[in-house]
Amino acid sequence: MTRNGESALGIYVSIPFCRSKCTYCNFASGVYPATDHERYVDRLVGDVSQAPIWSKSMGTECPHRVDTVYLGGGTPSLLAPNFLVRLFDSIRAEFDLDADAEITMECAPGQIADTTLIAMAAAGVNRVSLGVQSFVDSEAHASGRLHDRAIVEEDLRRLRAAGIENLNVDLIAGLAGQTFASWEKSLDALVDSGAPHASVYMLEVDEDSRLGREMLKGGVRYRADLVPSDDAIARMYERAIERLENAGLAQYEVSNFARPGFESKHNLRYWHRRPYLGVGLDASSMLALHPAALWNSPRNPTRHGDVLRFKTTDDLNAYLAGPSTPEMTRLSPARQFEEAWFLGLRMNEGVELTALAQEFGSEMLDAAMQTVERLIDNGLLIANEARVRLTSRGRLLSNDVFQEFLESEVAVGALEA
């Protein structure tokens, strides 16, 4: 977003601490000792304070104005209130945080202490994402969650009482033991909760997760033998789209649904390729390499030149040991063009063709349209003169669609650029 011609930044803060590790999870998070929390926050505060200097040394520019902050994890609500205060104080000391900035914090149901909730509200947190995953107690417990439905409902009440009305509820289609009947119960409970935003994910079992390893060896631990088939998971997802749409939660991205005005501003910046700074374990940043042309369009921020993506280590001990050189990837305009397609297609609004042509040129667009035409013939995309979008079938096979753009002639040229 721009205001009076000034660009804005989004900040993502990774908090990797969990009270328990979900069976399906392969994120850089875990059950670490509480003694690590203070050292970790020390590192975060240092990263925030050094971000402008570090960015300049890398040849990029970090906008001073911030309009979204997102604390993800892990379980950020496990941080002690004084650590949350320190973290937000450091962000406000180094950056110009908009008065109406969207400030999101991920929380695990049953793991929001009263003192933490007070600190959250005082720090300006105005949006909370609850990792519910299932409103059916047996499914939640089997996947490693520590809550039940009653706890979720009580936390939603407490959050609203604290003045936080912008609430997201996560659900996963495909948990071990899930049936069509139990999925319907979760969808009903989600709608009844009144949450204005929902995220619905189709279970993708990674072989590095505990559940994935158990499925690979044909075991039954973590109820691995009761994970629904891919076809059943797809049908659950389709039912979620229908049920939530009827309840006024419109799908605006492959996995995200919202009432009007409650779309996630922070996540939209990723899909619109606007600048972001990530601090903490396994966090990514994306900043322009040409400051003079930095983010001069809110929807097409990389119109001139390359951008640089940074990623921090996913090893907690290495992160706590002190600053190190992040993993860096230079994104040429051709690579950015690929991302414009697969990130843009994630959204129901799709990819705007005129904007792509203005940003990258008609030659690159014409080459990509050959892939588009083929995917239209396969029933995965739909297009008119203005936009290209995923079809309903395309959303079910979205990863395959995105891969087509990575394997196109344009992508090959990008890799050689």
Out of 27-36, 113-122, 175-184, least confident range: 27-36
Residue 300 has pLDDT above 50, yes or no: no
Q: Name the nearest CA neighbour of 142 among 73, 221, 32, 234.
A: 221
**What is the pLDDT at residue 73?**
83
- Rounded Cα gap, residues 154 and 132, in angstroms: 12
The average confidence (pLDDT) of the chain is 87
**What is the pLDDT at residue 143?**
75
Q: What's at 374, amino acid-wise?
A: R
**What is the pLDDT at residue 34?**
76
For residue 239, CA distances in Å to 142, 349, 358 come to 23, 21, 38
Q: pLDDT grade, residue 87 (50/70/90)?
A: very high
Provide mean pLDDT across the span 110-117: 95
Out of 10-14, 102-106, 215-219, least confident range: 215-219
User: Between 240 and 323, whose confidence is greater?
Assistant: 240
- Rounded Cα gap, residues 162 and 175, in angstroms: 32
**What is the pLDDT at residue 102?**
98
Q: In what order do the strands lie in the sheet with 381-383?
A: 351-352, 387-390, 381-383
pTM for this one? 0.88
Residue 297 has pLDDT above 50, yes or no: no
**What is the pLDDT at residue 209?**
59
User: Between 28 and 307, whose confidence is greater?
Assistant: 307
Q: Name the nearest CA neighbour of 314 among 339, 285, 283, 345.
A: 283
Q: pLDDT grade, residue 311 (50/70/90)?
A: very high
Q: What's at 410, amino acid-wise?
A: V
User: Between 7 and 387, whose confidence is greater?
Assistant: 387
Domains recognised in the chain with CATH numbers: 9-267 (3.20.20.70), 333-417 (1.10.10.920)
Q: In what order do the strands lie in the sheet with 327-331?
A: 250-253, 256-258, 197-202, 166-173, 127-133, 96-107, 65-73, 9-15, 276-279, 284-288, 307-311, 327-331
pLDDT tens column, 189-223: 999 999 999 999 988 766 665 566 666 566 656 66
**What is the pLDDT at residue 416?**
34
Out of 53-62, 90-99, 130-139, 391-400, least confident range: 53-62
Q: pLDDT grade, residue 26 (50/70/90)?
A: low
Residue 409 has pLDDT above 50, yes or no: no
For 257, list phi and psi in degrees, rounded to 5.
-135, 140
User: Between 145 and 39, whose confidence is greater?
Assistant: 39
User: Between 307 and 122, whose confidence is greater?
Assistant: 122
Cis bond upstream, residue 74 (ω within 30): yes
- Rounded Cα gap, residues 340 and 42, in angstroms: 36
Out of 99-108, 127-136, 207-216, 336-345, least confident range: 207-216
Q: pLDDT grade, residue 291 (50/70/90)?
A: very low
Percent of the chain with pLDDT over 90: 65
Residue 412 has pLDDT above 80, yes or no: no
Q: Name the nearest CA neighbour of 75 among 5, 142, 146.
A: 146
**What is the pLDDT at residue 379?**
97
**What is the pLDDT at residue 33?**
72
SS (H, E, C) the chain: CCECCECCEEEEEEECECCCCCCCCCCCCECCCCHHHHHHHHHHHHHHHHHHHHHHHCCCCCCCEEEEEEEEECCHHHCCHHHHHHHHHHHHHHCEEEEEEEEEEEECCCCCCHHHHHHHHHHCCCEEEEEEECCCHHHHHHCCCCCCHHHHHHHHHHHHHCCCCEEEEEEEECCCCCCHHHHHHHHHHHHHHCCCEEEEEECCCCCCCHHHHHHHCCCCHHHHHHCCCHHHHHHHHHHHHHHHHHCCCEEEECCEEECCCCCCHHHHHHHCCCCEEEECCCCEEEEECCHHHCCCCCCCCCCCCCEEEEECCCCHHHHHHCCCCCEEEEECHHHHHHHHHHHHCCECCCEEHHHHHHHHCHHHHHHHHHHHHHHHHCCCEEECCCEEEECHHHHHCHHHHHHHHHCCHHHHHHHHC
Q: pLDDT grade, residue 64 (50/70/90)?
A: very high
